[in-house]
Structure 1
Amino acid sequence: MRRSVMSGNSIVATSSSSSSSSSEAEGEGVYMNYVLFSALVAFALAQSIKVFTTWYREHRWDLKQLIGSGGMPSSHSATVTALAVAVGLQDGIGGSTFATALILATIVMYDATGVRLQAGRQAEVLNQIVYGLPAEHPLAESSPLRELLGHTPPQVIAGGLLGIMTSTIIYLISHSGNNT
């Protein structure tokens, strides 16, 4: 007979006939770090959704969106929000781990809409200037700068909501039946 046991921030599947210590049970059982899993799933979902939002907006499939930055929704925001919410659900919101995750999420989301968004807009202007240069200019043949670096506030909010939903759903699924 197999059962799931909550141990710290992990779910461990153990055998009821086992008399080994909890560290040995973790080595033998199926181990899942809920917090890490939530963040990774939120990232993968956000990156996958970008492929479909690009298709909807531009009527073309762009698989580069699976690894690219920028776009709808923000995968950075989804990841750090899922991380913070998962830590809060797992360990409570009163600890230093949650505080650290929340501050990290705030900084990443602020950076996405501030510094990175402005850097992308500057790259767009610089690319227009370079395109207007005469052919004999040394910079005329330079590669264009990446323009899609940051996120608009709606993209960050959508990523944040995706992160909240992802970690909450995974928490509810992984902790169902563990009310003992």
Structure 2
Amino acid sequence: MSSFEEKTLAKETIYNGRIIDLEVHTVSLPNGKESTRELVFHPGAVAVLAITDDDKIVTVRQYRKALKKEVVEIPAGKLEPNEDPLLCAKRELEEETGIIASTWSKLHSFYTSPGFADELVHVYLAEDLQEGSVNLDEDEFVSREDYTLDESKSLIDSLDIHDAKTIYAILMWELRKLKGQA
């Protein structure tokens, strides 16, 4: 048991949605006082860094309502209940880009916002790509765009790439390249 653990004394479910659930917990702090925590529960997600034979990163451009702008991201999606993250990654890559990859490896996993959310994103590297067929969800509108590492870094600078999972994956891939592992 951690000496910093916060024990839940009471909780209230505020919202149960398609993507997230929101609860407010009253907790006992390590110093004996009480506080409130607003917590977001998410089933987890995957993100796919797909690299073409000519060493380009496969991305999708889409409008994000929360940001009120279009952004360039690597393909990603929410895990279904009890879904294997690798199977989800394969599905999302093909659905969003029409790509099927023969070689898969896990880059890493990370929590998006551990101060208030439990969302864990599993990041995969997909290589040896072949064209399949795009099969977007009916509420999904994206265009595929492929970029070199330098072009991707320029898109980060211009804020066209502006999400943590994409920046994280690009930097992980660059680190692998620097270490001679990519």
Higher helix share: 1
Q: TM-score, normalised by structure 1?
A: 0.26
Larger radius of gyration: 1
Higher relative contact order (CA 8 A, sep 6+): 1
Higher strand share: 2
